[in-house]
Homo-oligomer: A and B are copies of this chain.
Amino acid sequence: MRVFDMNQRVVKISIVKIGCIGCSPLLEYLLDERADRKDIDVRVFGSGSKLDEERAVDIAKRALEFEPDLVIISTPNAALPGPTKARELIASKGIPTIVIADAPTKKVADKLKEEGFGYIIVEADSMLGARREFLDPVEMAVYNSDLIKVLAVTGAFNIIYEAVDKAIEAIKKGEKPELPTIIVNRKAAAKAAKFNNPYAKAKAMAAFEMSKRVADLTTKACFVLKDWEEYTTLCAAAHELMRHAARLADEAREIEKYGDYLIRRPHYKDGTIMIKSKLIEKPVKMEEVKSEHESK
């Protein structure tokens, strides 16, 4: 294992959280899960649950004050005025910016790309059932717990941190990072999760699909239906759907444990990603695994 270079450049990252999607709450921790990474310095700036223009711009400004090398914006529906203004402000400073967002963002994906933004749009990251008759803080937390389980197990989080790490790596080398433009769908996610058992993969894909379909229900419940009894029931149905998506994701993960081939890909302290499969084995750097394969 090569010696860790203490003099390597530290990449400064501002994470801007506008409102909340399932990818937001743990975003900064995905990059440095054990707080031992030496190559990045992270600051988070959030507007709470609101995503109006004023607040979005305000935290974008604060994020810029950190003089970041890279900005990550996580937001629902990046086409809304708040997120749009925020990222335009950051773009005006020429800082590489990756937008992490949910499915409604797909309609501006091409525009984002044209404007030089990276994006990771996660189809399964559905909005919750935001009706006062249904959603209280505890229900919100329960929902996010389930959604996080789905996103983690089905591979969405793998795509996020690997894409961000790639950009970080480029910046560390002094290069201009090639930013990701990824739609995280069922297939992409499952591939990234690297399941060994094909039924685990199929279950994870089903869980992803379920999670994605939650938005069909919540969108209707929040924006279409007027009858409060009807939308309350539909909100409840949506959250039950997410609860079972989480269960199915859990089932997929258990299969991998049962066969003792659950892939783990921790960060090394220099930021490179390692990999291991059996629980009782040491991780090795992924690049070494690859070069080993290539040399065969």
Mark A residues whose CB is within 8 Å of B.
15, 17, 19-20, 25-26, 28-36, 40-51, 55, 58-59, 62, 65, 130-142, 144-146, 148-149, 151-153, 157-158, 161, 186-187, 190, 197-199, 201-203, 205-206, 209-210, 213, 216-217, 228-230, 232-234, 236-241, 243-244, 246-248, 250, 253, 255, 257-260, 262, 264-268, 274, 276, 278-283
Distance (whole angstroms) from the CB of A277 to the closest CB of chain B: 12
Note all chain B residues with C-beta closer than 8 A to A30: 137, 140-141
Using A35-B50, A240-B203, A241-B206 as known contacts, say yes or no to A151 and B157 having CB atoms under 8 A apart: no
| Whole-angstrom CA separation of A34 from B233 in the bound complex | 17
User: Does the CB pair B47–A44 fall under 8 Å?
Assistant: yes
The 3 A-B pairs with the shortest beta carbon distances in the complex, nearest first, are A44-B46, A42-B48, A25-B25
Distance (whole angstroms) from the CB of A168 to the closest CB of chain B: 13
Distance (whole angstroms) from the CB of A209 to the closest CB of chain B: 6
Using A130-B34, A213-B213 as known contacts, say yes or no to A141 and B148 having CB atoms under 8 A apart: yes
